[in-house]
Structure formats: C-alpha cells, structure tokens
Amino acid sequence: MPTSVNRDALSGSVALVTGAASGIGRAIAMTFARSGASVALVDIDSGAGTEVQNAILSAGGKALFCQADVANRRDCVQAVSKTVATFGGLNILVNSAGIIRRATVLETTEEEWDKGMAVNVKSIYLLSSEAIPIMEQSGGGVILNIGSGWGLVGGTRAALYCASKGAVIQLTRAMALDHGQQNIRVNCICPGDTDTPMLESEASQLGLPGGSLQEDARERPLGRIGIPEDVAQAALFLAGDAASYITGTTLVVDGGGLAG
C-alpha cells in the first residue's frame, strides 16, 4: 500500500484536478497538495468539493474549489481562468471526472450516450484547449487523463464506458504527438477496479450486493481491490520531473488484473 509522499515533488506547481470531490480525483488532489502543489479542485458537486478544499487548507496546503460541469465549455473556461487568476498559472491538468453506465448498447439511451461521451471524453478536449496555451507560455506542462482498464480490453454491459475510455487513450496519444514540441507531456493512467463511490454505483446498476466487486478483486495477482491512493501515487510520478521523458503512454494500475 502507498505510504509516503515527497513534500517537495510538486513544489511551486499549479494543478487543476477534475472530479476532485470524490474517489480517485480527490486522492490525486490531496496527494498533489501534500507534495507542494497549489490545487484547483473542479467538480460538479459543490458540497463534497468544498469539503476537500477545507481539508487541504486545514492541513496547510493551497486549494481552491471551482464548481463546474466539465462537459460545458463555459464552465471549463471559467475554471481555468479562475485557477490562473488565483494561483498565477497552470502547470498540471488532471482529467479524472467521469461517469459509468453499466449497460449494453441496447440498454443505453441516446441521451446517456451523449452525456457519457461528453463527461468522459469531450471534457478533456475542452479543458486541454484552455490549458495548453497557458502551459506553452510558461515553457511546458503535464496533462494526465484517467482512462480505465476497459479502454484496453472490453467489459460486459459497459459499451458506452468502454468506447469512451478507448477514446481517452487515443486522445492521449494524439495530444502527446501534437504538443511534445512545446514540452507538454500527455499521459494516461488506466486504473482497474478501485474502491470509490463509482464502484458502488456499478454494483447497484448491476443489481449486485454492495461490496461484491471489492470481493471479486481478491482474484487479482496482488489479491486486493485498488484504493484511490494507488492511482494518486502513479499520478504523482507522471506529473513530476521523475517522468520527464515519458509522454504518450498508458500506465495500468490494477494489481496485475490485465497481466494474464
């Protein structure tokens, strides 16, 4: 289990993390703040987002909550401009906000399809379009997209989700090619099952008892479900100087689930 944090690893950096009110985004935001970054917390959920902001501030870190729907261009423009106005720049963008619908194509409505693709994929385009020119001005930056193991292999009753996460991986590669010359590194983390509210939502959508997906994860090589901090440690590595020659890659963080 991850234990330590280098308190200077992101010192002086400004990070914007979407989905920062819960789960993986929350863990990334808190880890980045503990590592010295000023963190803009972007989420549609203002109650939980404000709690994360207060937790970081009480621990002596720097944080600002911005309520935004990441599928909405105006909200994304405002979130980036508020971040720059408050912290003086933007060096790291983490796209973690996401939603899941556990359904086949036959069970997925057109509205669900459009919303899932907008939250999981279009949001990366919207926020990156705002962030890249700012990163370019300051000599570079880092974009981390949270994909999924289901962007690499298929899963049952997850048609929209698999399509959206496959798109996240390809968008990551395309952006890495386009923006390497500006010293902007673009990478993707693909978590396996991770113990967050999203996993509980999946169990309930599938009519499974709570805790059953956590139990299934015991069959992974490392014998346990992932926790948000597992993904946050991978994000910290990819965001920092230790990963300065890594771009366009996909890092699987799944306890060995896809290894076999």
Q: Active-site positions?
A: 161
Q: Are strands 250-253 and 184-191 parallel, antiparallel or unpaired?
A: parallel
Give the binding range for ligand NAD (CB under 6 A) out of 9-17, 81-89, 152-160, 194-202: 194-202
Q: Is residue 119 a contact point for ligand NAD (CB under 6 A)?
A: yes
The residue within the footprint of ligand NAD, chosen from 55, 77, 84, 99 (CB under 6 A), is 99
Q: Is residue 43 a contact point for ligand NAD (CB under 6 A)?
A: yes
The residues, any chain, with a CB within 8 Å of residue 203's CB and separated by 6 or more, are 209, 210, 211, 212, 213
Q: Is residue 45 a contact point for ligand NAD (CB under 6 A)?
A: yes
Give the binding range for ligand NAD (CB under 6 A) out of 65-73, 124-132, 177-185, 232-240: 65-73
Q: Which residues of 102-129 are buried (b: 16+ CB within 10 A; e: fewer)?
A: bbeeeebeeeebebbbbbbbbbbebbbe
Tokens found for residue 169: 């991986």
* C-beta separation of 108 from 159 below 8 A: yes
The residue within the footprint of ligand NAD, chosen from 33, 39, 41, 44 (CB under 6 A), is 44
The nearest distance, CB 7 to ligand NAD, in angstroms, is 24
The residue within the footprint of ligand NAD, chosen from 148, 172, 187, 247 (CB under 6 A), is 148
Binding-site size for ligand NAD (CB under 6 A) equals 28
Alpha-carbon distance of 61 to 58, in angstroms, equals 7
Q: Is residue 199 a contact point for ligand NAD (CB under 6 A)?
A: yes
The residues, any chain, with a CB within 8 Å of residue 136's CB and separated by 6 or more, are 179, 182, 184
The residues that touch ligand NAD, with contacts defined as CB under 6 A, are: 18-19, 21-25, 43-45, 68-71, 96-99, 119, 146, 148, 191, 193-194, 196-199
